[in-house]
Amino acid sequence: MADTAEGTSVADYSWPEVDRRGQIGRRRTRLDGPVKSTGFARYPSDQNPPGLLAAKILTCPHAHARIVALDTSAAEAIPGVRVVHVIQGEGSEIQWAGDEVAAVAADTEDIARDALRAIQVEYEVLPHFVTEKHRDRAPAAQPGSERTDGDPDAAFASAHRTVEQTLGMPQMAHMCLEPHGQVASWDGDELEVHASTQAVSTLAGQFASELGIPATQVRIRTEYMGGGFGSKFSPDRWGIVGAELAREAGAPVKLFLDRDQEVSVAGSRPSAFARVRVAADEQGKLVAWDSDSWGSGGLPGTGQTPLPYVFSRLPNRRLRHTSVPTNLAGSRAWRAPNHPQACFLTMASLDDLANELDLDPIEFLDRNLEFTGRADVYREELGIAAGMAGWKERWQPRKRSRDSALQRGLGVSIHTWGGRGHASNCDVTVHPDGAVEARLGSQDIGTGTRTIVAQVLAETFGLELPQVRVSLGDNRFPQSGPSGGSSTVGGVCASTRRAAQDALREVLTRVAPGLEADPEQLTAAGGRVFVEGEPSRSMSWTEAASRIGGAPVSAQGRNPGPGRLISSGVGGVQIAEVEVDMDTGVVHVERMIAVQDCGLIVNRRLAESQVYGGLIMGVGYALFEEWIPDPVTGRLLNADMEFYKLAGLLDVGSLEVHMMTGPGYDERGVIGLGEPPVISPGAAISNAVANAIGVRVPYLPLTPDRVLDALAGRGGIA
């Protein structure tokens, strides 16, 4: 596409060359930043239609119980209570604390809470199991089949160095700042739901089938939403119950989970434990892997994580996995499902092996990149990350002495993700006044979708961001995929680009005669339409649009579709620098360095912002976040924001991000970025702590008690 004449051709659906980009790759401020930061953005939980009722849910306080008797009459008698709805009645067996038993819609939230307290429930409490760390005590562990590739036994037998240990990380919560929930309103048989969701286009059908109405009668709206991280893909029971309460009450109903419910039942990441054995030869090449893993995602248990992570071409390996069901709510997809766990189990083991080999861990990774799918990318990124960290000058082998209370350490980890764009449809309309709009049934879950679609529009039509409009968050718009798996940016950019290129071609066809040119000779850039190479033969965009006739021009674009607009498969490298207080076991992250590719970057600032978010979340689960189920009651003891500790601004250290761009990256097209940066922090930070204190803390999060135990030679897992 170096030929400028070809550059005007829009039939081939491509991204402009680097020197012709007006928007793509630029740093653009999030379009909805001002309304969000000033509080004008109306989230689903901010919707207050006239006559709104408040609904609350009564949950079971026991981890395992049978409902013997349930009496709602006292609740129904409370003035202001409109509807009491039994979700699980007498005889129901409850399998986790926090499961929904009954719901109340009332004039106010206070009345709804009073009504919940008035509901009499008698439980027969049954035995529970919530501590899957102790696999041997699990009543329903499900050992899977063993899988062996190559000859691991022979490889271990002839290996130069082997390390073996048990590592693990617990279940943790999604902790969405806007809890799960929705405002449901009926107009006759038509249902409108303002939902805090990651799946605007697919939610309607799910509501419809549960409620027994045609999907055409369900409207889903999500202009803004306060975080999902993989936990908001379905209406959930509270969504259906909310809609039923509204139907029965004949009034709109707002039902959002309380914080303890949000933490306990609305999203968790599965735990992962493993006895890992890994070996290398005298040249520092990996020769064998053996892991006996287990973990839980609550009642459903959980499957095998991808081990060994990234180094998946290692020939000799044996994998065993046991799924451990517990009496806890089922887990949900958590940003990069299974990857942070697999990354920690693998990268911590490799880091310990490098230490056994007396090798710099970066050198060790480098020697084994042939076992990964993208050695060249990792090699380049490792070099950049090492440079940013001053690794060569500052990295030292693990310390074995305590010259002072505060010890610093460096750790490294690498990760991968797919990120191919999902199925997406987009309508682009050019109005005769020059206004341009894209409409798609996608959602901006805080990642910047609205902004990058606007950039693609503006890029294609040669306009600035204020001249284009993006409408999303409504299932009446052309259907677009759920925002999961880092699939949104690729999907919406591709569908928007195709629609926009087609719409532009139609506009150019109509205005070409006025410029006495063929449409193929015309370019739209800088707010003008002109003959390529002859800027004097031009007209303003507004003038051009006015010539399209009385009706708007519109086109629909789809993904997948023709042209190389997107791709998948990325690699990233992260380095953590920590300071550990050897006396108290307190770990502080001083610095996180992230080097990441994601193909063609649409918006540099938002891409970096995604990585910052991943790093912050990563520091959270590396140091602080965990579900703490009570062995006695089976309830979570920290279903709050007091002892469920999130990383605050003072805790995250300096975050430094380098995005890979230019040749080798740009031409791959757009690839998703939501998940990759959250994968490595647990491993990188754990490795940095091991480097600082001389021993591995085998368990995340790296709390003071665990650090002190490791220093004292105590504290293995199970």
Partner 1 sequence: MRPFSYAAPATVEQAVSLLEAEGSEVLAGGTDLLSLLKDDVEQVERLVALRGIEDLSGIDASGGRLRIGSMTTLQELRDHADAMAAEPALGTAIDGVASAQLRAMGTVGGDLLQRPRCWYYRRGFGLLAQGENGRSMVTEGDNRYHAIFPEGDARFVSPSSLAPLLIALEAEATVHGPDGERRVPVEALYRTPRAEGERENTLGPGELLVEVTASVGAARSAVYEVRQRRSLDWPLMAAAVSLYGEGPLVDRARIVLGHAAPTPRLAAAAGDLLAGRELTPERIVEAAEAAVEGARPMSGNRYKIQLATVAVRRALLRAAGMEA
Instruction: State the Cα torsion 431-432-433-439 to the nearest 10°.
Output: 0
Binding to partner 1 by residue 429, rule CB under 8 A?
no
Q: Does 134 bind partner 1 (CB under 8 A)?
A: no
**Closest C-alpha among 286, 280, 349 to residue 314:** 286
Q: Which one of the spans 24-32, 98-106, 155-163, 581-589 is the region binding partner 1 (CB under 8 A)?
A: 581-589
Q: Which is nearer to partner 1, 183 or 623 (CB)?
A: 623
Q: Which of residues 244-303 bind partner 1 (CB under 8 A)?
A: none
Backbone angles phi, psi at 172, to 5 degrees: -140, 170
Residues in contact with 383: Cβ distance below 8 Å, sequence separation at least 6, in sequence order:
none
Q: Which of residues 208, 299, 388, 628 is near partner 1 by CB under 8 A?
A: 628
Q: 170: helix, coil or strand?
A: coil
Q: Residue 635 interacts with partner 1 (CB under 8 A)?
A: yes
Evaluate whether 69 touches 17 at the Cβ level (below 8 Å). no
Determine, following the binding rule CB under 8 A, whether residue 68 of this chain makes contact with partner 1.
Answer: no
Sort 403 into a burial class: Cβ within 10 Å, 0-12 / 13-18 / 19+: exposed
Binding mask 530-569 for partner 1 (x = CB under 8 A): ----------------------------------------
**Six token digits for residue 714:** 């105590």
Phi–psi pair at 552, nearest 5 degrees? -65, 160
Q: From the list 435, 543, 704, 718, which residue makes contact with partner 1 (rule: CB under 8 A)?
A: 704
Q: Is 624 in the site for partner 1 (CB under 8 A)?
A: yes
Alpha carbons 314 and 575: distance in angstroms, whole number? 24
Positions in 671-690 near partner 1 (CB under 8 A): none
Contact 478, 440 (CB under 8 A): yes
664 binds partner 1 (CB under 8 A): no
Cβ at position 649, least distance to partner 1 in Å = 7
Cβ nearer to partner 1, comparing 327 with 559: 327
Among 536, 649, 662, 713, binds partner 1 (CB under 8 A): 649
Burial of 38 (0-12, 13-18, 19+ CB in 10 A): exposed
Pick the closer one to partner 1 by CB: 51 or 648.
648
Instruction: Using the rule CB under 8 A, give the single segment among 155-163, 303-311, 577-585, 659-667 that binds partner 1.
Output: 577-585
Q: Identify the residue among 34, 146, 643, 654 touching partner 1 (CB under 8 A).
A: 643
Nearest approach in angstroms of CB 280 to partner 1 is 34
- Lay out the site mask for partner 1 across 85-114 (x = CB under 8 A, - = otherwise): -------------------------x--xx
CB of 128 to partner 1, least distance (A): 13
Quick one: angle between helices 449-461 and 488-511, nearest 10? 30
Rounded to the nearest whole angstrom, what is the least distance from the CB of residue 611 to partner 1 in the complex? 21
Task: Check binding of 136 to partner 1 (CB under 8 A).
Answer: no
Q: Can residue 716 be called a binding residue for partner 1 (CB under 8 A)?
A: no
Closest by CA to 459, choosing from 201, 673, 670, 674, is 670
Phi-psi region of 142 (alpha: psi -120 to 50; beta: other; left: phi over 0): beta
DSSP state of 19: G
Residue carrying structure tokens 């493993």 = 274
Integer Cα distance of 666 and 501 in angstroms: 19
Q: How many residues bind partner 1 (CB under 8 A)?
A: 35
What is the closest distance, in whole angstroms, from the C-beta atom of residue 131 to partner 1 in the complex?
10
Nearer to partner 1, 2 or 650 (CB): 650
Residue with tokens 């329903």: 140
Tokens of 390: 């001053």
Nearest to 370 by CA among 283, 281, 286, 279: 286
User: What is the closest distance, in whole angstroms, from the C-beta atom of residue 60 to partner 1 in the complex?
Assistant: 14
Of 121 and 673, the one with the shorter C-beta distance to partner 1 is 121
CB of 98 to partner 1, least distance (A): 12
Please choose, out of 38-46, 204-212, 299-307, 637-645, the segment that lies near partner 1 by the rule CB under 8 A: 637-645
Minimum distance from CB of 705 to partner 1 (Å)?
Answer: 4
Task: Please provide residue 605's backbone torsions phi and psi, each rounded to the nearest 5 degrees.
Answer: -65, -45
Q: How far is the CB of 231 from partner 1 (least distance, A)?
A: 23
Q: Which stretch binds partner 1 (CB under 8 A): 379-387, 388-396, 638-646, 690-698?
A: 638-646
**CB-based burial label for 431 (10 Å; 0-12, 13-18, 19+):** middle
Q: Which stretch binds partner 1 (CB under 8 A): 199-207, 407-415, 629-637, 678-686?
A: 629-637
Using the minimum distance from each CB to partner 1, give the nearer residue, 35 or 77.
77
Buried b (16+ CB within 10 A) or exposed e, 109-145: eebbbbbbebbebebeeeebbbbbbebeebeebeeee
Q: Nearest Cα to 100, choosing from 271, 295, 252, 244? A: 244
Residue 187 contacts partner 1 per CB under 8 A: no
Residues paired with 556 in a beta bridge: 427
Residue 637 touching partner 1 (CB under 8 A) = yes
78 lines the binding site for partner 1 (CB under 8 A): no
Using CB under 8 A, list all residues that contact partner 1: 110, 113-114, 117, 404-405, 583-586, 588, 623-624, 628, 630-633, 635, 637-638, 640, 642-643, 645, 647-651, 703-705, 708-709
